């Protein structure tokens, strides 16, 4: 079914993706977009034969494709989904319907022709029809083309700045900190804890229980001081005075990465570090995993810590997640995304050269301005306010 934007440019039609009809063509199109710049390494994403994999776990999702009608060729694509998330009000948690825009791609020969703009406009129309109040997107601060498209042409506003932290998985286990006990929480208990700890955060999903019961969720883990074990409350009616918590999402079952275009010298140096780490694991060398073949990552989300010694507790949880990833032959990195003012950011182990210092989230109000029933202020205040925003942003693992 075509949208109302199919007339401009005249050779372009934007329509919903048809899995039976379009799958092979979309895969070919995605491969054409994975081009390398001469002499520069690139990170290629493989969607494992499912163009909808990045949005399929949302109840309400869509993929639109741009088709060159004269050539019967797909030249662009975009994905979107809608969820209900918190605005992060300090006194009253307010939930709104939020659309997430991702996966915008246009084949190289058809860029700068308005294809990307039309795809965004058409997706916004779909979001409005399905009741979304806002739409947001995320991109690296260095991606000027994407930022210019959304902020200059599509009226999005820079909203929040997050940091993506990447910790390579080594051949050796990371030691856990003494005096710390790690307990795994069942999904129901984890949901209750998250609802308590993220009450003032932004983007907390209303369907957190659905996320925690998803087959891609590998578990929720809480670290507490060993001295508190005798006082452990299995029902979590009262949270421990000191604790850290996180959940682990298995992204390698959805998509995988591969680094291409490195020099032979770099390749040899990385391979040499792995050999030394394997032969002498007791040295705990910072080896570089084999990123040059397809690999997956574990995504850490729901990170929170509080109380005396919480930094040690979070570091121990991160070591536990690393060791889980080490036992998974295809998992070669552990990744987390946190707000730049989140205290967890200073605790997370990561390699700076592999991390993204600034992941920009841009937002746009889709519905007409209306009064917020909880605060008696216009809803636009949330977009423009930074001083009143929570330092903690809950990053939905389905967004990654």
- CATH match of 12-162+358-389 with 3.30.300.30: no
* DSSP string computed for 72-126: TEEEEEEEEEEEEEE---SSS--EEEEEEEEEEEE-GGGTTSSHHHHHHHHHHHH
pLDDT single digits (tens) 111-129: 889 999 999 999 999 999 9
pLDDT of residue 374: 40
pLDDT of residue 124: 97
pLDDT bin (cut points 50, 70, 90) of residue 368 is low
CATH number of the 166-357 domain: 3.40.630
What global pTM score does this model have?
0.91
Beta bridge partners of 363: 136, 157
pLDDT of residue 382: 76
Q: Where are the domains of the chain?
A: 12-162+358-389, 166-357
The distance between the two most distant Cα atoms of the chain, rounded to a whole number of Å, is: 72
Give the residue, 92 or 96, on which the prediction is more confident.
Answer: 96
Q: Please determine whether the domains at 12-162+358-389 and 166-357 fall in the same fold group of CATH.
A: yes
Strands, E assignment, the chain: 12-16, 42-46, 60-68, 73-86, 95-106, 134-140, 157-168, 180-185, 217-225, 243-250, 256-260, 296-306, 331-339, 356-365
pLDDT bin (cut points 50, 70, 90) of residue 10 is confident
**Dist. CA 168–CA 349, nearest whole Å:** 10
**Dist. CA 239–CA 236, nearest whole Å:** 6
pLDDT of residue 34: 66
pLDDT single digits (tens) 316-328: 999 999 999 999 9
Mean pLDDT, the chain, rounded, equals 89
In this structure, are strands 217-225 and 180-185 parallel, antiparallel, or unpaired? Answer: antiparallel
């Amino acid at each position: 079914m075509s949208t109302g934007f199919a007339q401009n440019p005249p050779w372009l039609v934007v329509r919903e993706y048809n899995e039976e009809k379009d799958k092979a063509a979309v895969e070919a199109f995605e491969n054409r977009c994975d081009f390398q710049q001469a002499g520069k390494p690139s990170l290629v994403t493989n969607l494992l034969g499912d163009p909808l994999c990045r949005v399929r776990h949302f109840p309400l999702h869509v993929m639109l494709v741009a088709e060159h009608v004269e050539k019967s060729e797909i030249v662009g694509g975009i994905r979107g989904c809608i969820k209900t998330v918190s605005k992060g009000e300090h006194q009253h948690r307010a939930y709104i319907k939020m659309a997430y825009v991702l996966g915008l791609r246009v084949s190289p020969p058809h860029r700068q022709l308005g294809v990307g703009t039309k795809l965004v406009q058409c997706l916004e129309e779909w979001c409005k029809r399905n009741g979304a109040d806002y739409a947001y997107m995320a991109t690296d601060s260095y991606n000027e083309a994407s930022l210019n498209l959304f902020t200059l042409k599509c009226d999005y506003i820079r909203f929040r700045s997050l940091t993506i932290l990447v910790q390579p998985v080594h051949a050796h286990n990371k030691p856990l900190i003494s005096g710390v006990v790690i307990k795994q929480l069942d999904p129901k208990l984890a949901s209750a804890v998250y609802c308590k700890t993220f009450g003032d955060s932004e983007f907390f999903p209303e369907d957190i229980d659905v996320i925690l019961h998803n087959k891609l969720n590998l578990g929720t883990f809480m670290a507490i001081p060993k001295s508190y074990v005798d006082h452990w409350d299995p029902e979590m009616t009262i949270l421990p005075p000191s604790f850290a918590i996180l959940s682990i999402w298995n992204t390698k079952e959805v998509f995988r990465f591969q680094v291409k275009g490195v020099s032979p010298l770099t390749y040899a140096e990385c391979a040499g570090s792995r050999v030394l780490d394997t032969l002498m694991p007791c040295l705990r060398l910072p080896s570089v995993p084999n990123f040059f073949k397809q690999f997956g990552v574990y995504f850490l989300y729901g990170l929170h810590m509080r109380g005396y010694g919480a930094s040690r507790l979070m570091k121990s949880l991160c070591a536990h997640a690393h060791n889980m990833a080490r036992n998974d032959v295809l998992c070669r990195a552990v990744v987390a995304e946190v707000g730049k003012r989140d205290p967890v950011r200073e605790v997370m182990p990561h390699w700076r050269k592999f991390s993204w210092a600034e992941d920009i989230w841009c937002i746009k109000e889709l519905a007409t301005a209306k009064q917020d029933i909880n605060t008696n202020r216009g809803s636009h205040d949330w977009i423009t306010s930074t001083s009143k925003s929570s330092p903690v942003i809950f990053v939905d693992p389905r967004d990654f």
